[in-house]
Structure 1
Amino acid sequence: METQLEKEILRGGQFLVKETKCEDIFTPEDFSEEQKMMRDSVIEFNDREIIPHRDRFEAKDYALTEEVMRKAGDMGFLGVSVPEEYGGLGMGFVSTMIVCEYISSGTGSFSTAFGAHTGIGTMPITLYGTEEQKQKYVPRLATGEWFGAYALTEPGAGSDANSGKTIATLSEDGKSYKINGQKMWISNAGFCQMFIVFARIENDKNITCFIIEKDLNNGITLGEEEHKLGIHASSTRQVFFSDTVVPAENMLAGRGEGFKIAMNALNIGRIKLAAACLDSQRRVTTTAVQYANERKQFNTPISDFGAIKLKLAEMATNCYAGESASYRAAKNIEDRIAMREASGNSHQEAELKGVEEYAIECSILKVAVSEDIQHCADEGIQIFGGMGFSKDTPMEAAWRDARIARIYEGTNEINRMLSVGMLVKKAMKGHVDLLGPAQAVADELMGIPSFETPDYSELFAEEKEMVAKLKKVFLMVAGAAVQKFGPDLDGQQQLLLAASDILIEIYMAESTLLRTEKNAKRFGEASQEIQIAMAKLYLYNAVSIVEKNGKESIISFAEGDEQRMMLMGLKRFVKYTNYPDIVDLRKAIAEKVKGENKYPF
């Protein structure tokens, strides 16, 4: 661990204003032998217990979901992140990401049940519970003896989670609370034994969190199973509480601290949701190329057609980028936790603060990877053609299951606005210096651009310069927007959405370049030829997205000379000296995928 902590670990959001060396990031190629063994064990479990039973999951076989969850508990997968003293494996954050990633690719149904239990069902007690609460509940949850559910959302409280109407009333003797209210979209409600429930005490500003055991004789009523677009074997019900008595000692953390618990649970859930989408992308890409290699039209495998190669190349590239960014952030979180523990923080405090530090990156990853899996599944259907629209092929279910990922753990719209808002708040607290770099970009716009021919002899020299310029676009737009709107920036939602897309593409493109550069240095450039192509392709696509959103942002709030100057700056910042041959890059990537007959990276 000491070796890991010798490198500079950037704070959350600092990727925007500080250069990251490729040697300082973690990549999937850095997995330890223990992590590889865990990955292989989860893949074997997935292939044995989940994939062969897709039809039963699609037929809403909730008993099967519960049965496989218990088997996952027997394997230790439910307790990967739980400390050993509470019946778990006590593994690091990266290992928890690996399990979440590979166990989630069988069906969205199992992914949702697993994530709801291990994340928002178990984690609040592990991180906020008293010793008595942890000893009572966590071992049962870690082993699969009990399953947990998370009851936050209400009919009138979705994205505005703190506006819930569920009420907690203290008894006259102060020994218990009565809970009254309605919760909806509660995953695992049908077979769980315990709820994490959020309710308001009197007229408190913030909600409070309680651990409530599921006793149907204690005023708890379940609605019918919801009829959903996807995740069919995920038990999803409304839960009604009518004078449900909960002991006062089952309050989690303190009074009014429920909103804090909810937000921190969502931070962890967001990065784990990104992980849960990754292996699904691999499997969809593999299924698509296998069909494309077999399907012939005009006496030619459709994988030979340029239109199909384009799709395969983009599907593979986006997955590779998602892997790169997700494990970069996961290791940052793990290292930050280790630093805090080394400085004397408890494991609870270290993990809470470690994840909270990278809340911006968690939101970025949630948005980017959830949209990539949806696009991947959509293109998978397109490659299958008419057959892709049939329930007889796996693409149809993959597309339906992927759709929910853009909604839960906070909608992508909320997460986009959060990422920019949190960055601005970090800057105001002095955790990220945005003012200095933003002013430097403003000064640069007033200066005369350099006409020297740069030296691009090293790998990714121009690409890294391009990423630096994309950061200038964000600083230019965000700096001017903050100056213009000040505290009213939160009300400029369309501007925030555009700015967030710039921020997202910077992080994803830079992560992809850094991973590839690191591997090229240690394994040789020849071995990374296609990965280099993917990094260049992703960056090219990112530049186009940044240019579009930068222009939209500028013309939305700037006028006259300021607008003209900023648009000129944007044009300068998104211009390549040597444009990559995108068609050839896609061909090379697609040929690799086609030749391997799977996602091979």
Structure 2
Amino acid sequence: MATVSHPTSASVQAPAGGSFLIEDRLPAEIFTPEDFSDEQRQIAETAAQFAVNEVLAAAEEIEAKNFDVTRALLKKAGDLGLMAVDVPEEYGGLAMDKVTSAIIADRMSMLASFSVAFSAHVGIGTLPIVWYGTDAQREKYLPKLATGEWIAAYALSEASSGSDAMNIRTRAVLSEDGRHYILNGEKMWITNAGFADLFTVFAKIADTTDPDPQARERSAKFSAFLIERNTPGLTVGAEEHKLGIRGSSTCPLVLSDCKVPVENLLGEAGKGHHIAFNILNIGRFKLGAACVGGARTSLAHGIKYAKERKAFGKSIADFGLIQQKIADCTARIFVGESMAYRTVGMIDAALAAIPEDQKRNSREIQKRIEEYAVECSILKVWGSEMLDAVVDHVVQIYAGYGYVEEYPAERAYRDSRINRIFEGTNEINRLIITGFLMKRAMTGQLALLPAIKQIMDEVMSPPALNFDESAGDALAREAALLANAKKIALFCAGSASQKYMNTLADQQEIMADLADMLIEVYALESALLRARKNSSPLGTLCTRYYAAHAIQTIEAAARRLIAAVSEGDLLRTQLAILRRLLKHEPANAVETGRTLSRYAIEAGRYPL
């Protein structure tokens, strides 16, 4: 597999993160799956064929926790170059662009237990060393990780500090001779722990010279360490037996006077939070892409079963309510693809714009990726909830057989649930989405406050809606819905800000409702831009079908928010404004769904 350069064309833009709410994009400015290069299509095919011929063929052994099989498959993936996604060439990697990295995550997601092991290794397992490692650390570890000779794991969570990562209890103390850090503590839910060779472990470095315990705690430095499996004092606990992803390894780590050489401190002491949080942005967009791939696989199973299953003298794929489920899955996958590759395309465009003398500057690379933290969190939340909806539809298509282990719907249903917890819970990510945008607005990095003020001044005037499709654009209705969805989100943000001012971040329910509006705006706009860019009849159908769901979600969130921040005459006035902004003639979702499902049923899979 050859090294792939940045695929984004000159027209693909890298706008400010979060600017989708206040700026309009042109279709040519976004990256879509239809823009994949020939090399990227070949890599997609390589990864998909590996997943089908190697991973699915060994599914029974993988699910039984036969980790010798899992490790052998990871090594085979390394031999194909699939493990070297983000590793620099000088350390045996391929230095792929992020679109290609997302493509591999997408296509490797046919069996979640293996996908989790693979993604944990190439993402949160390897990237900390790529970005923060010293030359010596990179030379020592990256060639082994790129080939799959060694497997990596990432140990941040603890029993008392899941989402509250900075509250970890694991402590590191410098030895008297200054040659080692002595670590004590316990890590929980560590993916790949049962067979990993190298762990990135987070701990707080304590100053033992300070006699005041509270002062020692305040001054403890949140840091990261590279710990090899055979390090004295490191013990891997027993495997967890989980609801889903049963074939993946999940164990606790116990550190008891674990002696780590000082040269294995990763990055700077006290800067471990940069490693922990920056790595998660990559993890989130890859998880979103993997959810799309998982949904695509589940839909194919559902369609196959629906075509084979007979009831009342015909295939159940001929029934309207089954077609409705297939249409909903198809539309959601289209939207998910659109969001995933739009997001990663922006990241690649931003990385491509780094000056030549800074191309290898890890801090510059991280800064460009962090710019899209909002979009990465949106993709993680929306993708994981989309996959839950799809696997639920597929279980229902299978009916009683969907509840039986020997059929694929049951396992997919169980496996899907973890994605709403991985890479930061969806609740935490919803707070990140709204909080990050409001923070950027308050610091002047994003012109959100002027946009909110303009909308608050305008809303007393009726909106200018135009659903005339005779103008030649089959998605004029959806474009108008999108424009008003942005106004609703800005109007609600303004209302909430007026009510709570600087304490808005403490109102988690309000923050989550705002996040849901932002998520649906980004989802609908991504689908609309992709459909217009590629003039795809299927894309038009998917966008039209999904728009009805998006606007319903936005309306429900807006009504909850307005009722929470207003009362009396103000409440009635704001609800009247909301009704005007929501006024539209609905599309015929029944006919659209039937047409869309026919494409999928005839193809026997997601039809794009």
Q: Specify the TM-score bucket, using the shorter chain as the normaliser.
A: over 0.9
- Aligned residue in 1 for 2:173: 169
Q: Which one of 571, 576, 580 corresponds to residue 572 of structure 1?
A: 580
Aligned to 2:547: 539
CA contact (8 A) 1:167 1:201 kept: yes
Given the alignment of the two structures, is residue 485 of structure 1 paired with residue 500 of structure 2, yes or no? yes
Question: Is the alpha carbon distance of 1:491 and 1:59 closer, same or farther for their aligned partners in structure 2, counting shifts above 3 Å?
Answer: same
Corresponding residue to 2:417 among 394, 403, 410: 403
Structure-2 change in CA distance of 1:383 and 1:448 (3 Å): closer
| Alignment match of 2:449 (pick from 416, 431, 435) | 435
CA distance in 2, matches of 1:241, 1:2: 44
Equivalent residue for 2:211? none
Name the CA distance, whole Å, in 2 between partners of 1:117 and 1:102: 16
Secondary structure of residue in 2 paired with 1:174: coil
Question: Which of residues 584, 599, 606 is equivalent to 1:599?
Answer: 606
- Larger deviation, residues 262-271 vs 333-342: 333-342
Deviates further, 338-347 or 59-68: 338-347
**1:7/1:411 CA distance change after superposition, 3 Å:** closer
Q: TM-score, normalised by structure 1?
A: 0.96
In 2, distance between residues paired with 1:451 and 1:24?
25
1:61 to 58, 62, 66: 66
- 2:388 pairs with 374, 385, 388, which one? 374
2:297 aligned with 1:283: yes
Q: What is the CA deviation profile of residues 341-364 of structure 1, one whole-angstrom value per residue up to 9, with x for unaligned ones?
A: 447353422321121000000000
1-side partners of 2:264 and 2:591: how far apart?
Answer: 61
Check whether the contact 1:183–1:238 (CA below 8 A) recurs between aligned residues: yes
2:346 is aligned with 1:346: no
1:6 is displaced (CA, Å) by: 5.5
2:38 is matched with which residue?
A: 33
Alpha-carbon distance in 1 for matches of 2:390, 2:466: 41
| Number of equivalences | 591
Tell me the residue number matched to 2:146: 142
Aligned counterparts, 1:35-434, within 5 A: 35-105=40-110, 107-202=111-206, 203=217, 204=219, 206-215=221-230, 218-342=232-356, 344=358, 346-434=360-448
Q: Distance in 1 between matches of 2:163 and 2:240?
A: 20
- Contact kept, 8 Å, 2:516 with 2:553, in 1: the verdict is yes
**Displacement after TM superposition at 1:5 (Å):** 4.4
Contact 1:179 1:199 in 2 (8 A): yes
Q: Distance in 1 between matches of 2:466 and 2:53?
A: 60
Using the alignment, how far apart are the partners of 1:537 and 1:307 within structure 2? 15
- Give distance in 1, aligned partners of 2:254 and 2:337: 40
Partner secondary structure for residue 353 of structure 2: helix
User: 1:469-484, aligned counterparts within 5 Å?
Assistant: 469-484=484-499
Amino acid paired to 1:472: K
Kept after mapping to 1: 8 A contact 2:374/2:437? yes
For 1:541 and 1:401, the matched residues in 2 are separated by: 25
Report what 1:524 is aligned to. Answer: none
What is the DSSP-based 3-state SS (H/G/I as helix, E as strand, rest coil) of the residue aligned with 1:446? coil
Shift of the alpha carbon at 1:446? Answer: 2.8
1:55-101 Cα deviation digits (max 9, x unpaired): 22222222211111111111111111211111111111100001111
Q: Distance in 2 between matches of 1:160 and 1:426?
A: 22
Contact kept? 1:5, 1:339, Cα under 8 Å: no
Which whole-Å CA distance do the structure 2 matches of 1:145 and 1:26 have between them? Answer: 34
One-letter code aligned to 2:42: M
- Match for 1:556: what amino acid? A
1:132-191: CA deviation from partner (whole Å, max 9, x where unpaired) = 111111111111111111010001010001100000001122221001000010111111
> What is the DSSP-based 3-state SS (H/G/I as helix, E as strand, rest coil) of the residue aligned with 2:241?
coil
Whichever residue aligns with residue 523 of structure 2, its letter is: M
Aligned-residue sequence identity (percent) comes to 41
Note if 1:497 corresponds to 2:501: no
- Residue equivalent to 2:3: none
Contact 2:465 2:480 (8 Å CA) reproduced: no
In structure 1, the gaps of 5 or more residues are 521-527
Contact 1:445 1:565 in 2 (8 A): no
Distance 1:346 1:483 in 2: 44
Aligned to 2:354, what secondary structure does the other structure show?
Answer: helix
1:507 aligns with 2:515: no
Match of 1:196, SS state, is: strand
Offset from partner CA, 1:251-293 (integer Å, 9 cap, x none): 1111111112111111110010011111211111111011101
CA pair 344-53 structure 1, distance change in 2 beyond 3 A: closer
RMSD value over aligned CA atoms? Answer: 1.6
Matched residues in 1 for 2:261 and 2:100: separation? 35
Q: For 1:366 and 1:463, how far apart are their aligned partners in 2?
A: 24
User: 1: distance between equivalents of 2:165 and 2:18?
Assistant: 25
* Secondary structure of 1:15 counterpart: helix
- Relative to structure 1, the CA distance from residue 50 to residue 447 in structure 2 (aligned partners, 3 Å threshold; closer, same or farther) is same
Q: Is the 8 A contact 2:482 2:521 kept in 1?
A: yes
User: CA, structure 1 residues 453+154, in 2 after alignment: closer, same or farther (shift >3 Å)?
Assistant: closer
Q: CA deviation at 1:35?
A: 0.4
Partner secondary structure for residue 23 of structure 1? helix
Query: What one-letter code is carried by the residue in structure 2 that aligns with 1:66?
Result: R
Distance in 2 between residues matched to 1:498 and 1:361, nearest whole Å: 16
Give unpaired runs (5+ residues) of structure 2. 1-5, 207-216
Q: Which amino acid aligns with 2:319?
A: F
Q: Which residue of 2 aligns with 1:529?
A: 537
Name the CA shift for 1:237/1:3 in 2 (closer, same or farther; >3 Å).
closer
* Distance (whole Å) between structure 2 residues aligned to residue 448 and residue 275 of structure 1: 39
| 1:290-347 deviation line (CA, Å, top 9, x unaligned) | 1101101110110111110110000111011000000000010011111124473534
Q: Give the CA deviation at 1:455.
A: 7.3
More displaced stretch, 566-575 vs 162-171: 566-575
Change (3 A) 1:405 1:75: same
- Three-state SS of the structure 2 residue aligned to 1:309 is helix
Equivalent AA in structure 2 for residue 90 of structure 1:
A
**AA paired with 1:310?**
Q
SS in 2 for 1:435: helix
Please say if residues 151 and 198 of structure 1, whose CA atoms lie closer than 8 Å, have aligned partners that are also in contact: yes
Which range moves more in the overlay, 326-335 or 458-467? Answer: 458-467
Contact 2:78 2:148 (C-alpha < 8 Å) held by counterparts: yes
Provide the TM-score with structure 2 as the length reference: 0.95
Structure-to-structure mapping, 1:454-465, within 5 angstroms? 457-459=471-473, 460-465=475-480
